[in-house]
Amino acid sequence: MTDVPAPGPAKDTATLEPSLHRVMGPWLLLLFIVGDILGTGIYALTGQVAKQVGGVVWLPFLVAFAVAVVTAFSYLELVTKYPRAAGAALYTHKAFGIHFVTFIVAFTVMCSGITSRAFAANFSESFNLGLESGIGVTVIGLAFMALVAIINYRGVGESVKANVVLTCVELSGLLIIIFIGLWAIGAGQGDVSRITQFGGSENRGALWGVIAATTLAFFAMVGFEDSVNMAEETKEPTRIFPKILLLGLFITGTIYVLVSISSITLVSPEELGEGETPLLKVVQAGAPNFPVWIFGFITMFAVANSALINMLMASRLVYGMSREHVLPAALGAVHPSRRTPYIAIGFTTLLAFALITFVGEVPALGGTTALLLLCVFTVVNIAVLVLRRDEVGHEHFRTPTFLPIVGALACAFFAGPWTGRDPFQYTVAGVLIAIGIVLWVLTVIVNRATGVKPTEPSMEEIGGSGPVN
């Protein structure tokens, strides 16, 4: 596909506009990735995975980790080749050049972030703070999202500093689980033999039980893809992304496996699968005197961090795609002093408000998030191969060719109905995509009215002939 440079006047105007602020070095990027992946998934889904597979609860997390790593290699080639905000949508735009496909991918990624936040919106049970569901929880959720928006607006520096604090707190909660489990095992408590026992209440058989459980566990592994949307706010992204993204994945994958082993050693699969707070049962079984309310607040911080990072991702995605004229250009405005995409922040915050208010109680949102992202990952793995013919003027990471092929097949497989996925997830995803189609029509109308056409950015806009710094 031939590059189509942006019109001269538009490019000249863009050079006069304020750009995003590069503040993220390797350690801040690592904490961003680790904090985003850890999130709320492991806190909420360990018991549901145990219901599917019994004692080998660690295996679906390991399979989900393998699929995530293979896809991460594709993201690494693309983010070092095109170090721009917008991530998967930008890669789709460059690979296929079809406005509708690009828009749907962008909208799907944005919806995955918002559905992920709705998954955590009804937090009364998870926090164990005694709140009743209803208007009170909705109001708290809206106030919380408003606070996230203010932090996001203040600047990426403030956002990543908040992320550092929240990541350390949520990481401490999982380390508590691991420590309690290892201490109890060393003291002869629990039943270590459970970690090799297949089971589950669905009677699917070992293979299909693991496959079905992996569709749940995959929600706990998503988040690594959010980091590529921060490429324009990362120092030297082409140099540091490969080692930092893979390191973040391996850290979180190791934590998940150890948490799973600790959990199933101390609590039976049947008991672990009951209720909404499986990890609190692990704490109570291994350390009865541990103040459980502290763990409740740690879970709250995990939810807060996930919300902050996802809204950072969603606003940068909207900003990036508006710069490619796939979304209305007004959404790409950058505040002159704060250097943040303030219009995009407001737009995504309003969408989050609507989802928390109207569909925050939908139980399938976690699985829907994984479903949407598996579809996006399939497209990204294919885009890597298509874009191999597009040469750029700087060195970049190159993944072995077989990995995108394996990644595309694996992601497409786990997105299919044969995995035992709840059919309602397809209904939720279908409704969201239908909304996206309506928004696409509106975008086309706006572009035609303003005389703007979506174009593939020139290589000078992507990153020039050398590394970005």
CATH number at 338 reads 1.20.1740.10
Question: Does the residue 468 lie in any domain?
Answer: no
User: How many independent structural domains does the chain possess?
Assistant: 1
Distance CA 260, CA 279 (A): 10
User: Could you say which residues of the chain have pLDDT below 50?
Assistant: 1-16, 121-133, 359-363, 456-469
CA triple 268-189-38, angle to 5 deg: 60
Q: Coil, helix or strand for 234?
A: strand
Contact 194, 266 (CB under 8 A): no
Contact 39, 220 (CB under 8 A): yes
Q: pLDDT at position 21, please?
A: 60
Cα dihedral 342, 237, 377, 44 sign: negative
Question: Does the residue 224 lie in any domain?
Answer: yes
Residues 6+ positions from 356 with CB-CB distance below 8 Å: 117, 118, 121, 138, 141, 142, 145
Question: Does the residue 141 lie in any domain?
Answer: yes
Q: Take residue 401 and report the two structure tokens written for it.
A: 């060719």
Contact 217, 48 (CB under 8 A): no
Question: Does the residue 14 lie in any domain?
Answer: no
Question: Does the residue 467 lie in any domain?
Answer: no
Q: Take residue 340 and report the two structure tokens written for it.
A: 């943040």
Q: What residue numbers bound the domain in which 105 lies?
A: 29-459
Question: Does the residue 280 lie in any domain?
Answer: yes
Using CA atoms, how far residue 284 sits from 182, 281, 439, 444, in Å, is 14, 5, 48, 56
Q: pLDDT at position 279, please?
A: 82
CA triple 53-54-56, angle to 5 deg: 75
- Intra-chain end-to-end CA distance of the chain, in Å: 28
Question: Does the residue 11 lie in any domain?
Answer: no
Question: Does the residue 233 lie in any domain?
Answer: yes
Q: pLDDT at position 323, please?
A: 74
Contact 92, 101 (CB under 8 A): yes
pLDDT tens track for 197-231 = 887 656 667 888 899 889 888 888 888 887 777 77
